[in-house]
Structure 1
Amino acid sequence: MDTAAQHPDPAFPHFHPRPAKGWINDPNGLCYTDGRFHVFFQYNPASARHQRICWGHLSSPDLVRWDEEPVALRPQPGGPDALGCWSGVVTHDDGVPTAVYSGVDTEGSHSRVVLARADAVLRSWTQEGHVAAEIPPDPQVTAVRDPFLFHFQGRRFALQGAGLASGHAAVLLYSVDDVRRWTYEGIWFSTEDHLAARHLPAEIWECPQLVRVPDSSGAETWLLMASLWLAADHHDHPNGVGYLLGSLAPNGAGLPVFTPAAGGKADLGPAFYAPQILALDDRALLWGWSAELEDGEGSPGRSPEEIDDAGWAGILTFPRQLSVHGGVLAVEPAAELRAYRGARLHRGAAGTLAVPPEAEIRVSGGEGTLRLVLNSAGQRRTVFADAVAGGDELRIFIDASIVEVYRHGSVPTTLRAYPGPGEDWQLELPQGAAADVWELQHPGRS
């Protein structure tokens, strides 16, 4: 997939795959089947606006070379998803790939859990409008969305994000012994818990995830992650994404009980939301959504009119690998991304370095403040700045208008920036720091 090579917009990403046109947001339906990774996503192929949401589809054998697949799901007139096929997951039901997603049919209505079936290669989908779960008949539950499936002690369960009449954000629990008929088990966990209130402050938890993650201590650690929705949000989501680490144990009825032990932010930047996690046998991978930056004082972005003119909006992050070290979440770029390294432009360099518009940077050592800036005739615009200490190691990816900064042993920072005419990227290193810089290149190209 190489939509960027001929794309007229210099802000369009070359290495983060997405269709050449249209709006995208949340990654959905992550799965690995028959040697291919599949990433679905919220998609409006008709315009760069958040309307008539479908499921777009990308697939890859190696997380580096991506193919754009046919649109998977579309709103069905008269169906439970008539106003949009919203976020969800893909599972296998008796060997049949099955999308489990939120459908909305009328303005202001509650979402319902809707099913759709696919062929073996996930390219042809059948939408019969089967509803597996309605909004629960629980007066405490005022909003519900974004189903997520998980297995615990040989049984399949589901979560949905929710908002409660009390003002708390929550996740609801379902037993899913039959994927076509869910059993509501109640409000499972909420911001009434003090650690949840601290690390996941929101009015509704969106896109809840519950997966086991590798822990260097050998403990069986579960990660609960949620996107933190507030009523005032408009695609900016200032509270971002939070996580809790903890344990699962069965109660007397065999239902899982989550006990949190620690938490934090899943990303420290302003341009990361609605991630989804793919739990594999040997690792857990995450993709997130990076929205376009709106033009504002101190943060030059794009107006709605400029986005319309560009014809596209939204980027999915690079795949990120999750683990736990010392009781905290550690997020690294997937190892496969090293295949994007082309010519090495700097090796062990110091001072101020010129950086190309598609680059990987590795920084080690030093004491002081590191800055990534856009420079034009001496006018500097700081995109990222942070303190580094002697033992720190950072990896920074720049791809046109998206910047991902990974700090070893911690969580990333995702940013958006739109270089203007005559603006070039520069890296300003503190005393004692050294950097390697590679130009990004698609494998197989010279």
Structure 2
Amino acid sequence: MLRGECGQATLLLLGVLLAVLVGAGVLGALARGLGAQQERRGAADLAALAGAEAMRAAQPRLFEPAELDHGVPNPRHLERTAYLALGRTAAVATARRNGARRVAVAFPDAGAIAPNRIAVTVRDPIRIAGREVVEDARAVAEIASVTLPSAGGDLSGEYAGPLATRQGKRMRPDVALAFDRMSAAARAGGVTLIVTSAFRGNAEQAALFAAHPDPKWVARPGTSLHRLGTELDLGPASAYPWLAAHAPRFGFKLRYNWEPWHFGYTRAAGSRSVGFGPGDGRSGLPSFVPARWAPAIGRAAQRWNVGAALLAAQLYQESGFNPFARSSAGALGLAQFMPGTAKDYNLTDPLDGDASIMAQAHLMHDLLAQFGSVPLALAAYNAGAGAVAACGCIPSFPETVAYVAEILGLLGGTGDPAAAGTGLQVRLIA
């Protein structure tokens, strides 16, 4: 090799080495930048979770009365602004402990009675290859119910209470007793009733739907009314005319015109699991109920056999006990009746608080009887019975889902307002 060629080769080799070194530096800078991005995202995630946890712990205090007896301020009561401030403080402190400095906190559902969501954005700039880059790292966390009870069930409304067995099929005990009475009457009329299906949990429903994926005939998991323990599929076909004529006397309703065998039990008097049960005066009422409305709620609960605590929680959500409340959609009064519904329930003046509560109890009685489930009845009150009947579920309207969750949160998942805020978990959703 000539000396000139050797020198050129050396220069070429040095150039390659320099390029490799520069490339390694660039890659290192990119890696550091990506690492910094991950750190910012981690800080946002942790901050959002910490803020939501602070809100979860404090949420029961939102429902404490502002005053105790004789007008003494209640130290446990927490106003919504203070509640949100607790979440904000926890989020910012956590973000800064994890290296973030520019932190913004927002509450997507700040207007709700009990806001459940917190959004944290970290805006610290990072350096990538010597250039400063600002790209927001955002995380959203929420407080979610572990249980949304429907006749004592889980998040999807599955009944989890005691079961009785008839003809090898499981059902709620009150349904079993009603079936016994109906079956005896049918035998007296020369008809023998057969139970072909009763309670089906979500797992069993999932297997059934997988085998027969037609929503008209087999409901999707989490939507079948059979999960409530109130539904019976009855036979034989020769019994259908007798059932159509006589089942309502025993509290059973034909659910669907195209399923002459499917009857649901609609009488649940005395069963708190589906929201029925009397109330008198302040007995059984949450502490957040103003004294002015306690007697009216008690009278309505007795008259229509609907749980007083359920009515109270619903009024809190509807209007905050403001008898002159008006919504942008035209709903009026304590119970936020639309004009058409008010007319259906003989409510001539929705701004009359006492009359409005009585009409609310009447409507809830009818919806509980129709659907046999607190969440479904609440969803029907908000979105209309037709929307709920169409799917046998809580319709996926954000307003309706939030409405049901808020009221069940007020009831603490068990009908006991003292437990409000329990049965909740914190999770990241974005």
Structure with more helix by fraction: 2
**TM-score computed with the length of structure 2 as normaliser:** 0.25
Q: Which has the higher strand share?
A: 1
TM-score calculated relative to the size of structure 1: 0.25
